[in-house]
Amino acid sequence: MTDQPTPDLRSRLQGLWLPLVTPFRNGELDEPSLRRLVRHYARGPIDGLILGATSGEGMSLGAHELERLVALTHEEISGSGRSLPICLGLSGASTSKLLDVLDETAVWPIDGYLIASPYYTRPSQRGLVQHFKALADHASWPIVLYNIPYRTAVNLTNETLLQLAEHRNIVGIKDCSSDRAQSIDFLRRRPAGFRVLTGEDAQYHDALGDGANGGILLSAHLETEAFASVHKLIKQGDRDGAQACWESVSELTRLLFAEPSPAPAKYWLARHGLIDSAEVRLPMVEVSEELAALLDADIARRRPPLLRRA
């Protein structure tokens, strides 16, 4: 493990991060669409990328696909003239298996990991502390915690988070606790330099107002500039401007989660030609005809097209 976490990741873990969808076509990783996606967003106002997490259907990816996803993304970013940080999304219910994955990915061109709490097993808070400390002690790259209890069935309490935040290799959290009181309490008590990014798209504006450092937002695949502007305007103290900007996209955050994500976002991206197919992998399914009609109406309302082929 490195003696110190990468300073660049801790300092850059703020603003607008994109949990990139993983494009598929005919059951395979769609490499041309992936390259197009990365080139497009590398030109935009995002501050970092998350690969292979929930929005990226990471649990459906094989080890070779995940490695290829990282390699192609790194290649396109390197050729873009920007230096966007990349975090790899990981999840699992076995600490020992995740330690093996950390070994396997130690030489990949990434800047850190986004690691969700163990799912299904519902460990105690003491078990969660030991789990994440074991991973952080072992990891070659800094770790961002991912608290999303409505998916994992276990909540990282603030007392647990405060213990973990003291670890030199744990640099931040993607907060999907869905409990604003808990989030505000942690923001007030967190150690200096520990980053908090909301992962609740519909609560993005409120979270920034409460003091979060940014967001990791699926919805920012669309209207990326507007989502970035909400953060920028709040930092500048322009609350009215931020509110107006937020109101232009707040409905989008509900529409894109009207059915299981990332199917709605993939439908939208495919309609704009940024990816060649809206395909998802089972048990995920493509959007219903009813939601497709609603998405089509919103796309028409937001013309001219937000996205163009790179």
Active site residues: 146, 174
Q: What is the mean pLDDT of residues 137-162?
A: 97
Written as six digits, the tokens of 248 are 């232009």
Instruction: Give the Cα separation of 15 and 63 in Å (integer).
Output: 30
Q: Indicate whether 6 pLDDT > 50.
A: no
Give per-residue pLDDT as tens, 108-133: 999 999 999 999 999 999 999 999 99
pTM (2 d.p.):
0.95
What does the alpha-carbon distance between residue 123 and residue 265 come to, in Å, rounded to a whole number? 33
What pLDDT score was predicted for residue 29? 98
Measured in residues, the chain has a length of 310
Which residues make Cβ contacts (< 8 Å) with residue 105, sequence separation at least 6? Answer: 67, 70, 88, 113
Per-residue model confidence as pLDDT tens digits over 165-208: 999 999 999 999 999 999 999 999 999 999 999 999 999 999 99
Q: Determine whether the annotation assigns residue 248 to a binding site.
A: no
**Whole-number mean pLDDT of the chain?**
94
Domain locations in the chain?
7-238
Model confidence at 306: pLDDT above 60 = no
Residue 2 pLDDT > 50: no
Q: Is 216 annotated as a binding residue?
A: yes
HEC assignment per residue over the chain: CCCCCCHHHHHHCCEEEEECCCCEECCEECHHHHHHHHHHHHCCCCCEEEECCCCCCHHHCCHHHHHHHHHHHHHHHHCCCCCCCEEEEECCCCHHHHHHHHHHCCCCCCCEEEEECCCCCCCCHHHHHHHHHHHHHHCCCCEEEEECHHHHCCCCCHHHHHHHHCCCCEEEEEECCCCHHHHHHHHHHCCCCCEEEECCHHHHHHHHHHCCCEEECHHHHCCHHHHHHHHHHHHCCCHHHHHHHHHCCHHHHHHCCCCCCCHHHHHHHHHCCCCCCCCCCCCCCCCCHHHHHHHHHHHHHCCCCCCCCC
- Cα gap 295→273, rounded to integer Å: 15
pLDDT in tens, 259-293: 999 999 999 999 999 999 999 999 999 999 999 99
Average pLDDT estimate for 226-251: 97
Q: Which of 255, 262, 268, 256 is closest to 285 using CA atoms?
A: 262
| pLDDT for the residue numbered 136 | 98
Say what the pLDDT of residue 1 is.
37
Which of the four pLDDT bands, split at 50, 70 and 90, describes residue 302?
confident
pLDDT in tens, 255-265: 999 999 999 99
Euclidean distance between CA atoms 39 and 42, whole angstroms: 5
The predicted structure's pLDDT at residue 304? 58
Q: What is the mean pLDDT of residues 19-44?
A: 98
Would you state the CATH architecture of domain 7-238?
A: Alpha-Beta Barrel (3.20)
